[in-house]
Amino acid sequence: MRGWELARWGGLFLCVAALTVWVIHGGHIFTKDKQMVVHREYDPIFDVMRERIEWQPALRLGLDIAGPVAAVGFGLWAAGGWLRRRKKSHRV
Amino acid sequence: MVRSAVLGLLLSLAGTALASTTTHLPLPVKGPQTVTLTNSVGQNLCRFLSSAPLEEFEGTADEISGSFTLNPQHLEATTGQIRVSVSSMRTGIARRDEHLRSPEWLDAERYPHVSFEIRGLKDVRITEQTAERASLTAKAVGVFSLHGVDKPMEVPITLTYVLANAQTRTRAPGDLVMVQSEFTISLRDFNIRGRQGIIGSRVGEVIRVWVTLYGSTGVQSNSPGAKP
């Protein structure tokens, strides 16, 4: 039963961690593998701020991955809680 | 009777005069100048934004080639062609980029380029002029080709022309030109349907596009489709 207790709290941690990372990464629906980086600099020839854009490799976790991971974590936590209550009721 | 005929003649003359308006570039440039796009002047870039209820994403395309001929004595007579390679489009998700190029969307294999054929400028207004630089706003009139569909379009542009000097020569020979534009395109107009239910939910029905082009009059024209 101790293993279940560990899995239960591990599941809760997984759920919270996945959702936290998802929020920090911008709360997008789909996972991105590249991030657009915009470099702005003054262009004295044309007298404008010009932009240079490059795509850099960067994993931005989306809900398509974070959602199922959080759901599995929540499931573990819920199942662990149910087993705990069941065991308690058996003792009584 | 005579009065109405004279009025009609005057109106037609006024219409002709408006149609053949000639705007001069307020710089000492002689003869038509062919501006060839080159990244040595600045990054030729096309940015696009899709806004849909489920997702908003931005993308870029950076393989842009082409040239246009600008007549300093008659800016309205500007002609040329700009081509953007579909294979250079990036959206930040490799799988989505593959979908973008697939036959269901832009079909990069059959239609490898998005192009705009410039047939002239209208509503040209000089907005800024110094001894070495002039800026103007105008509407570029031409034919926009995407996904095998040609559509006449008027695209608002801002053009800045800089005479060659010691500073410009560090980037490219000849006079330098920058063109900026912002416009929208409707996917339906170009017969782009995608997978069922995607347009309108995950992909916007209308795509906003920003284009920045840099060119020089001293660079040789590339072969069509070549990366400058």
By Cβ distance, the residue of B43, B94, B160 closest to A33 is B94
H and E: helices and strands count for chain A = 2, 2
Spans of chain B below 70 pLDDT? 1-20, 221-228
Averaged pLDDT for residues A61-69: 92
Quote the strand ranges of chain A, DSSP E: 32-43, 48-60
Residue B11 inside a domain? The answer is no
Any idea which residue has 């034919």 for tokens? B143
Give me the residue from A30, A44, A46 closest to B55, CB to CB.
A30
Closest Cα in chain B, distance from residue A44 (Å): 9
- What is the number of domains present in chain B? 1
Whether the Cβ atoms of residue B114 and residue B100 lie closer than 8 Å to each other: no
Q: What is the per-residue burial (b if ≥16 Cβ within 10 Å, else e) of A30-63?
A: bbbebebeeeeeebebbebebbebebeeeebbbb
Assigned domain for B79 exists? yes
Q: pLDDT tens across A36-64, in order?
A: 999 999 999 999 999 899 999 988 898 88
The predicted structure's pLDDT at residue B3: 52
Inform me whether the C-beta atom of residue A71 falls under 8 Å from chain B C-beta atoms: no
Distance from CA of B153 to the nearest CA of A (A): 26
pLDDT band of residue A82 (cuts 50, 70, 90) is confident
CA atoms within 13 A on the CB side of B70: 25
A92 falls in which pLDDT band (50, 70, 90)? low
Q: Is B178 within 8 Å of A48 when comparing Cβ atoms?
A: yes
Residue A41's closest chain B neighbor by CA?
Answer: B42
pTM tops 0.90, yes or no: no
- Which of A36, A46, A53 to probe by mutation at the B interface, max B CB count within 10 Å? A46
Among B147, B124, B146, residue whose Cα is nearest residue B136: B124
Instruction: Look at residue A85 and tell me whether its pLDDT is greater than 90.
Output: no
For B59, the domain range is: 23-216
Averaged confidence pLDDT in chain A: 88
Is residue B166 one of the residues assigned to a domain?
yes
Long-range contacts of B4-7 (CB under 8 A, 24+ apart): none
**What's the CA gap between B145 and B151, in Å, rounded?**
6
CA–CA separation, B60 and B87 (whole Å): 11
**pLDDT value at position A1?**
55
d(CA A62, CA A29): 5
The answer to whether residue B5 sits within a structural domain is no
User: Is B184 domain-assigned?
Assistant: yes
Contact state of B160 with A46 under an 8 Å Cβ cutoff = yes
pLDDT of residue B224: 43
